[in-house]
Amino acid sequence: QSSLLPPLKTVSTFTRDWRRRRSTCIQTFSVSYHKFVEFALDETRRHTHLTPSPLQEKFSFMNSKDGKGRLSMLSFEAAKIRLLRSLIIETETMQVFDFTVFPEAEYDVPIFCANFFTSAKTNIVVLDLNPLHDVINQHEYKDKYFKSLIPLGLKYTQLFPWGGKLTSESIKFFSPIVIWTKFTSNPQKYDILYSAFRDYYKVWLELICKSVKETDESQIVLNLEAQHRYLTWRVEKDPGQGVLKKLIGDTLAKDLLRSFLFNGVDELGSKTFYDYFPQYCTEEGTLHKKGNIVGKSFENRPWDVRGEFIGE
Ligand code: BLA
């Protein structure tokens, strides 16, 4: 926080920072995502005991290379939860919140995923209970977790219009209640986003609390592979990679991605990105680093109001 700026004042659940820019006199708005993670931790503790993860020792706080940004990391374990981890990035121009909770392989409960990027102008939001298994064709899995949540999804997806085209494969990691949206920065939207976050997290906690430990070894193997596939996708394709590398450099960014954010990618399975996503392999056998092969798709929400997939 520069000493030239007035102290931040907390209004409602957000930090509203009406800075006057000397040159443009544009009022900007910045948020704090710390409330979000505090809510999630408090709420989790109401149901279960959280133990700090061994990762916490290595990943807790980092400054960006230019000294102007900070990265705050938290990680925990609990019964049924392999890893609950949070990353908050705060710089003069953006705030990022990346909060994900990975269940143990004995549970086929979705992965809780909140991924918010905020700059002065725009917000990029993914909030979802990322399904572990196919929810486009596998009705049993879909109904088990999402049937009762469709009204909740509808409530928020009406408030947050579909964010437009996205990397095609991502849709397979999303559920019928996914909130994928972009909006220009404004206080009301943050209040709604906070409310959506709380509601989604509360229903996710109910799911994990109610879930029954799987004993069928072959099903556990399927859950484990789905978790590993998810980690492999995100570690390779996370759109935040560029920003992270700029902030902390290539080596630290890679370590943060593999060891912290998508921890488990090197331990839970041995398949590679090519094994899971062969469409990304070039004829020479190298990985397409830039963009993607299938391209961006889904201009409009590919789920209807009943939670049926209506995409291509
Ligand atoms: C953009 N982030 C996006 C987009 C998606 C996601 C769908 C739109 C662009 C695209 O589809 O490629 C998020 N995609 C996800 C998530 C899953 C997925 C959550 O497949 C889960 C399966 N994002 C971060 C971090 C930063 C960040 C840590 O997680 C910054 C440090 C930034 N995300 C970020 C930026 C963009 C973005 C800058 C816009 C850039 C772009 O469109 O490529």
Please return the burial class of 133, using the count of CB atoms within 10 Å of its CB with bins 0-12, 13-18 and 19+: middle
User: Which pLDDT score is estimated for 282?
Assistant: 67
ipTM above 0.90, yes or no: yes
Query: pTM for the whole thing?
Result: 0.90
Asked whether the predicted pLDDT for residue 288 surpasses 90, the reply is no
Q: What is the percentage of the chain residues whose pLDDT exceeds 90?
A: 80
CB neighbour list of residue 220: distance below 8 Å, 6 or more residues apart: 105, 106, 214
Predicted confidence band of residue 293 (pLDDT cuts 50, 70, 90): low
Of 30-34, 157-161, 178-182, where does mean pLDDT reach its minimum? 30-34
| Total length of the chain | 312
Which atom of ligand 1 sits closest to the CA of residue 169? Answer: 20
Calculate the CA 68 to chain-centre distance.
Answer: 24
Q: How confident is the model at residue 220 (pLDDT cuts 50, 70, 90)?
A: very high
Task: 210-215: list long-range contacts, CB under 8 Å, 24+ apart.
Answer: 211/80, 211/103, 211/107, 211/108, 211/109, 213/106, 213/107, 214/106, 214/107, 214/108
Residues lining ligand 1, Cβ inside 6 A: 89, 96, 98, 113, 115, 117, 124, 126, 130, 166-167, 170, 173, 234, 238-240, 243-244
Work out which ligand 1 atom sits closest to the CA atom of 261.
Answer: 28
* pLDDT band with cut points at 50, 70 and 90 for residue 1: very low
The pLDDT value given to residue 22 = 38
> Which atom in ligand 1 lies closest to the alpha carbon of residue 180?
7
For the chain, state the CA radius of gyration.
Answer: 19
| pLDDT tens, position by position, 225-274 | 999 999 999 999 989 999 999 999 999 999 999 999 999 999 999 999 99
- Measured in angstroms, how far is the CA atom of residue 116 from the centroid of ligand 1? 8
